[in-house]
């Protein structure tokens, strides 16, 4: 399942604090994907060697979820929030095709993960800029406005790229849906094939 979401109607569109965070620590988004996403990569002939640290850099900041602002975001999005991070993606970098694994949620709350719908909302912290790109499944998301985003369950393939000349800022809100249930056929099918249930 996936849907478009928007925090602006709830008065939650001020992301100044998150944009001003310290994004100096760089890591690569592929250090785990190389191993955890083999089922995805095998569909395309394996993971290309052209993906390197230098072109897959992300600068990620994790936030304390016990704040009034995140409580309001959770209510607006229909998410019982478990984690929030923001990512600054430098120009020239890409996050290759992948699906979200929600590793820490499965580690810390496995029973809830088996019985509830896990979701991630990917929120844009700025208006779309030339060269900024997000795709999930067959949908290309652009142009976007600050405060808009997309929410999906863990079985959706997606990728992100910054082919522009300015950093791209997003917020990832992960948790359990308070509006979607396990009765949905798509979610049930995913649970049958999930590595977490083997």
Q: pLDDT averaged over the chain?
A: 90
Residue 129 has pLDDT above 80, yes or no: yes
Q: Residue 34 has what pLDDT?
A: 86
Q: Residue 184 has what pLDDT?
A: 57
Q: What is the mean pLDDT of residues 118-122?
A: 96
Q: What is the CATH number of the domain that holds 127?
A: 2.60.120.10
- Cα separation, 134 vs 94, in Å, equals 10
Residue 196 has pLDDT above 70, yes or no: no
Q: How confident is the model at residue 191 (pLDDT cuts 50, 70, 90)?
A: very low
Range of the domain at 130: 2-197
- Cα separation, 27 vs 113, in Å, equals 27
14-57 pLDDT per residue, tens? 999 999 999 999 999 888 888 888 899 999 999 999 999 999 99
* Concatenated DSSP letters of 109-128: -HHHHHHS-EEEEEEESS--
Q: What is the mean pLDDT of residues 5-21?
A: 95
93-112 pLDDT per residue, tens? 999 999 998 999 999 999 99
Total count of domains within the chain: 1
pTM, full prediction: 0.89
Q: Residue 57 has what pLDDT?
A: 97
- Cα separation, 59 vs 24, in Å, equals 7
Q: How confident is the model at residue 190 (pLDDT cuts 50, 70, 90)?
A: very low
- Cα separation, 116 vs 111, in Å, equals 8
Q: Residue 193 has what pLDDT?
A: 44
Q: How confident is the model at residue 154 (pLDDT cuts 50, 70, 90)?
A: confident
- Cα separation, 7 vs 104, in Å, equals 25
Q: How confident is the model at residue 192 (pLDDT cuts 50, 70, 90)?
A: very low
Q: pLDDT exceeding 90 applies to what percent of the chain?
A: 77
* Concatenated DSSP letters of the chain: -EEEEESGGGT----HHHHTS-----EETHHHHHHHTHHHHHTTTS--TT--GGGSEEEEEEE-S-SHHHHHHHHHHTEEEEEEEEEEE-TTEEEEEE----HHHHHH-HHHHHHS-EEEEEEESS---TTEEEEETTEE--S--TTEEEEEETT--EEEEE-SSS-EEEEEEEEEESS--TTSHHHHHHHHH-GGG-
Tell me whether residue 120 is exposed, middle or buried, using C-beta atoms within 10 angstroms of its C-beta: 0 to 12, 13 to 18, 19 or more: buried
């Amino acid at each position: 399942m996936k849907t478009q979401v928007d925090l602006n109607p709830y008065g939650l569109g001020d992301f100044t604090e998150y944009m001003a965070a310290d994004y100096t620590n760089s890591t690569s988004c592929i250090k785990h994907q190389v191993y955890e996403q083999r089922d995805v990569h095998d569909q395309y002939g394996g993971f290309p060697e052209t993906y390197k640290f230098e072109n897959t850099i992300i600068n990620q900041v994790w936030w304390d979820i016990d704040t009034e602002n995140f409580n309001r975001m959770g209510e607006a999005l229909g998410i019982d929030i478990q984690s929030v991070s923001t990512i600054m993606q430098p120009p020239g970098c890409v996050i290759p095709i992948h699906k979200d694994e929600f590793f820490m949620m499965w580690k810390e709350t496995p029973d809830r993960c088996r019985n509830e719908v896990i979701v991630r909302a990917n929120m844009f912290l700025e208006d779309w800029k030339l060269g900024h790109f997000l795709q999930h499944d067959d949908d290309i998301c652009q142009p976007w406005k600050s405060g808009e985003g997309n929410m999906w369950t863990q079985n959706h393939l997606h990728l992100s790229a910054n082919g522009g000349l300015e950093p791209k800022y997003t917020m990832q809100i992960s948790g359990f849906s308070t509006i979607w249930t396990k009765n949905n056929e798509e979610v049930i099918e995913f649970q049958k094939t999930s590595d977490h249930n083997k």
